[in-house]
Structure 1
Amino acid sequence: MMTENFNPLNKLNIFSTKGIQMRTFHITWITFFFCFFGWFGVAPLMPLIREQLHLSKDQIGNIIIASVSATIVARLIIGKLCDTLGPRLSYTILLAVGAIPVMCIGLSNSYESFLLFRFVIGIIGASFVITQFHTSMMFAPSVVGTANAVTGGWGNLGGGVTNLVMPLIAAGFAGLGLVSHADSWRLAMVVPGVILLIMAVIYYKYTKDTPQGNFSDLHKTAKKEKKGTFLLAMKDYRTWILALAYAACFGIEITVDNVAATFFMDRFGTTMIVAGALASIFGGMNIFARALGGYVSDKVGKSYGLKGKGLLLGGMLVLEGIGITLFAQSQSLGMAIACMLLFALFLKMANGSTYGIVPFINKDAIGSVSGIVGAGGNLGAMLVGFLFKSASLTYADAFHYIGIGVLVIGIIVFITKFHIRQTAETNILQPALQEA
């Protein structure tokens, strides 16, 4: 009779659902997918919302900033909660609470009320921290970068799918006569909210915090080992460099998720459905690109250690920055799509590469490190959001300046010394190096 494996897996078989590790793996990325769906569900509907609520460019810019601002604080809090309550309860609470503003945003009848709902919905973005933490608990050092990248990438795919699906859902409700075309976005947003509530129940019932059991079952040990995790994370300069790197990749990703559909409509005169489909191409790259970044990071780590992982990340960011500047200068729709695919590849690989390093900073503070780095991504999105609200800058101008900024950050990361310290993280990195 076979017994269940209570240790982190040292092999990732994405087609397997056996064992608590793989069951958690699949439930985690699916949950994160729907979190992205709820977080950015209104993004492809903004042209419709803009017309009905009479929003100015400045107001839309504020809405873009609001959509990622609450996530900054939420990710810091959630990171700490993961180290204490555990990922299972943390995710369940976040899903239940986050579903409320997603379903209620349709009640907005003014710029102010819409801005408030869009701000609160941003807490759902903290789901990423739990996703990465939970995956890190389930997989061994030799494959944790790949596992984190796959769950993160397939979850981020929700940001692309929502650009394609939400306009169709809204159009479907209007076509059935359930609501007018102008109000179709309101009813459409109920769909992702209900799904989040369903996932809250599934996550609570069918996952565990670790292969050994839930934190509540390991309360005494967990309490002793998890004390002061946030301070440990903050004191390591590598945490902040990774936060800066994540601002330059994931921060730009969610910005593009927010503005891509509007950009294609305004610059090239496409319809809302076509613009949403084009924007979905960007998000669709997550089906493989982020996972590829994590996989390459793991391979480089086995041969060149943490230093090699850092050099790889810096190189990805430099290439991303170059791609964004080319995208900004595109004069035709075809060229814009080609350049978007180029920078999307390196951006999403950089996402995966960043979280291929995070678990090795401090094994006793994985949640806190993950939270700070994740918050850095949203801080980056919030800051570049000011470029898109500027009356003196076009969206193309904003992308041009973003490309330059990402290039500079890539150089900073490239010259940063990521090395193995003779501390707690050595215990989890060394086995991976020995396997090479």
Structure 2
Amino acid sequence: MSASNGIKILSFSGNTRILHLSWIAFFITFVIWFNHAPLLAAMRETMGLTDQQIKTLLILNVALTIPARIIIGMLVDSFGPKRIYSFLLMVSALLCFGFAAAQNFEQLAIMRFLLGFSGAGFVIGIRMISEWYPARQAGIAQGIYGGWGNFGSAGAAISLPTIALLFGGDDGWRYAVASTGVLAFVYSFIYYFSTHDTPKGSTYFKPKKSGALEISSKKDFVLYLIMNIPMYAALAVLTWKLSPSNINMLEAGVTNTIYIILASLYLFQAFRMYQVNAHVFKTEVPEIERYEFSQVAVLNLAYMVTFGSELAIISMLPLFFMDTFNLSPAGAGLVASIFAGLNLIMRPAGGWISDKFGRKRSLVVIMFGLILGYAMMSQIDASWSLPMAIVVTIFCSLFVNAGNGAVFAVVPLIKRRLTGQIAGMTGAYGNVGGVTFLTVLSFVSSEIFFLVIGGAAIFVFLATVLILKEPSNKMTEVLPDGTVQVIET
């Protein structure tokens, strides 16, 4: 079996072997990231957790992923995906063991917060796949990697309750969580000894400086400063949710301290950005080394609307269907699972469409379909028939999941040596979107919630039309000795 663009899915050699090894690594990190979700009922019973504490664990699970994707992006560009993926898998395994051994809520909360780091695994494979696949195949390859790896959350939901039952007793959930740690620990060695950062004879380009993304002009520096604000703002929103004015996990003093720390971290990051890019205020960056940060900004916002809205939708859709159509929890969950389940097919499809019909054109069309999808979902109410509501949900999901693939069909084509950092920032914006849209949902009705996402998509649609450029079929990188290398994309 092979895709029309030449990817031999059933092969386990060459770049297809790297693709399979990488999506499996991503799958495992997603299993770990969501290994608590299907076991919450058992955890609540055996540890006496309150509903407020359960909600706190869910919030903590996504908090660290935002900065983690930025950090991992920097590390992978500097040290290579082989080392960093293996390292992340091993660290995630140890954190799993810590979560499984927790004896009280505080220990659970700390370990769950740290396990949010596992959600950064996605970024690593983006760089790895971009090294092994040419641009004409990059879209579908990245889509397969992302779509199949994302299915790890469903894999956790399907398998872990059964594993917990097999072990049985009050500690069944602990053994189930620990088993994912064992899997990650073993696979960290498999990945390290079975992969290479690049094909034989290829050069792995690294950033000239570390600590911040390299940019090419003063205008780009200002835009870079602005685009960093929402990531810290999202963490501030999460802190606010934990504050005394909401679920009251954190005391007022602790909350204010975290706000100060976040503001200080932003200022420190801005200083590091200046240190790395001070040269743009003194001399002009050579044309051969330039790229436009505006392209990264558009992709960030596009992923915020696609993957960010998906995170929000899969969190609220079961309850929405249950309340609107008087379904049982199991029935509502089954219907709602369609939205995320289509990611398995449509994320690769979005990448393939991008390869086949052009990056910009594909993203524009997909974003327009996404706008229509959310506009229609905003009209769903009890007067609708359930089949019609499901059809509209599927329609919207097709474009949301295809959009995920289309965005990351472009990311590796901006600047090769910075791919990890660009992917990290874009991936982090997906989590920013999830936090943003769920926060909106806490204040408005479902109808307005869907319309807000659609409105954000209109803004991104216009930005894509007016700002995004079709990537060139060639990239240039300068080696440390000054040699210029042209990369055919």
After TM superposition, the score normalised by the length of structure 2 is: 0.71
Structure 1 residue 63 displacement after superposition:
2.7
Counterpart AA for 1:197? F
**Distance (Å, rounded) in 2 between the aligned partners of 1:118 and 1:265:** 29
Larger displacement relative to structure 2 (86-95 or 277-286):
277-286
The change in CA–CA distance for 1:310 and 1:286 in structure 2 (over 3 A counts) is: closer
Question: Aligned partners of 1:339 and 1:25: how far apart in 2?
Answer: 33
* C-alpha distance after superposition, 1:304-352 (max 9, x if no partner): xx43244134224324433653568797876665454333222211100
Spell out, residue by residue over 1:24-61, the C-alpha distance to the aligned partner (whole angstroms, 9 max, x if none): 110001111121111112222334444553323x5444
CA distance in 1, matches of 2:313, 2:39: 14
For the structure 1 residues 260 and 212, does the alpha-carbon distance in structure 2 shift closer, same or farther, using more than 3 Å as the test?
farther
AA paired with 1:239? V
Name 2:437's counterpart in structure 1. 384
| 1:209 equivalent in alignment to 2:216 | no
Cα deviation code 1:120-172 (max 9, x no counterpart):
11111111001111111110011111110111001011122322222332333
Structure 1 counterpart of 2:7: 12
Cα distance per residue 1:52-83 (max 9 Å; x no partner): 53323x54443332211111111001111111
User: Which of 188, 198, 213 matches 1:230?
Assistant: 213
The alignment partner of 2:214 has SS state of: helix
From 167, 174, 179, the equivalent of 1:186 is: 174
Identity of aligned residues (%): 33
Deviation string for 1:177-234 (max 9, x for gaps)? Answer: x323xx43232211211111121111101000011369xxx6xx745x5446712394
**Contact 1:45/1:185 (8 A) holds in 2:** yes
**Counterparts of 2:143 and 2:105 in 1: how far apart (Å)?**
37
- The answer as to whether partners of 1:282 and 1:344 remain within 8 angstroms in 2 is yes
Residue 249 (str. 1) matches residue 243 (str. 2):
no
| Residue of structure 1 aligned with 2:368, choices 295, 315, 322 | 315
- Alpha-carbon distance between aligned partners in 2 of 1:412 and 1:207, rounded to the nearest angstrom: 40
Q: What pairs with 1:77-156 in structure 2 (closer than 5 Å)? A: 77-156=71-150
The CA distance in 1 between the partners of 2:470 and 2:162, in whole Å, is: 49
1:286 to 343, 357, 375: 343
**SS, match of residue 357 in structure 1:** helix
Per the alignment, residue 415 of structure 1 pairs with 462
1:251, CA displacement in angstroms? 2.2
Which residue identity is paired with 1:71? Answer: T
Amino acid at match of 2:7: L
Does 2:395 align with 1:374? Answer: no
2:398 to 345, 348, 352: 345
Question: Match of 1:142, SS?
Answer: helix
Deviations 1:392-419 (A, max 9, x none): 77xxx4x544422321222122112211
Go from structure 1 to structure 2 and tell me whether the alpha carbon gap of 1:326 and 1:112 turns closer, same or farther (over 3 Å shift).
farther
Quickly say closer, same or farther: Cα 1:246–1:271, change in 2 above 3 A: same
- Following superposition, the deviation at residue 11 of structure 1 comes to 3.5
CA contact (8 A) 2:85 2:124 kept: yes
CA distance in 2, matches of 1:309, 1:361: 17
AA aligned to 2:24 is I
In the alignment, structure 1 segments of 5+ residues that lack a partner are 1-9
Alignment of 1:17-56 (within 5 A): 17-19=12-14, 21-51=15-45, 53-56=48-51
Structure 2: gaps of 5 or more residues: 217-223, 225-291, 478-484
User: 1:330 and 1:387 mapped to 2: Cα distance?
Assistant: 25
Distance 1:309 1:236, change over 3 A: farther
Mark the CA change 1:50 to 1:352 in structure 2 (over 3 Å): closer, same or farther: same
Give the corresponding residue for 1:3.
Answer: none
Q: Please show how residues 252-291 of structure 1 align to structure 2 within 5 Å.
A: 252-256=309-313, 270=328, 280-291=337-348
Alpha-carbon distance in structure 2 between the residues aligned to 1:323 and 1:429: 46
Counterpart of 1:43 in structure 2: which amino acid? A
Distance 1:156 1:134, change over 3 A: same
- Structure 2 counterpart of 1:6: none
CA contact (8 A) 1:317 1:407 kept: yes
The aligned residue for residue 74 of structure 1 is 68
2-structure distance, mates of 1:12, 1:93: 28
Q: Distance in 1 between matches of 2:389 and 2:475?
A: 43
- Of structures 1 and 2, the one scoring higher in RCO (CA 8 A, sep 6+) is 1
Do the aligned residues in 2 keep the contact of 1:30 with 1:155 (CA within 8 Å)?
Answer: yes
Cα distance, 1:15 vs. partner?
A: 1.7
Letter in 1 for 2:456: I
Check the 8 A contact 2:24/2:149 in 1, yes or no. Answer: yes
Between the aligned partners of 1:266 and 1:53, the Cα distance in structure 2 is 28
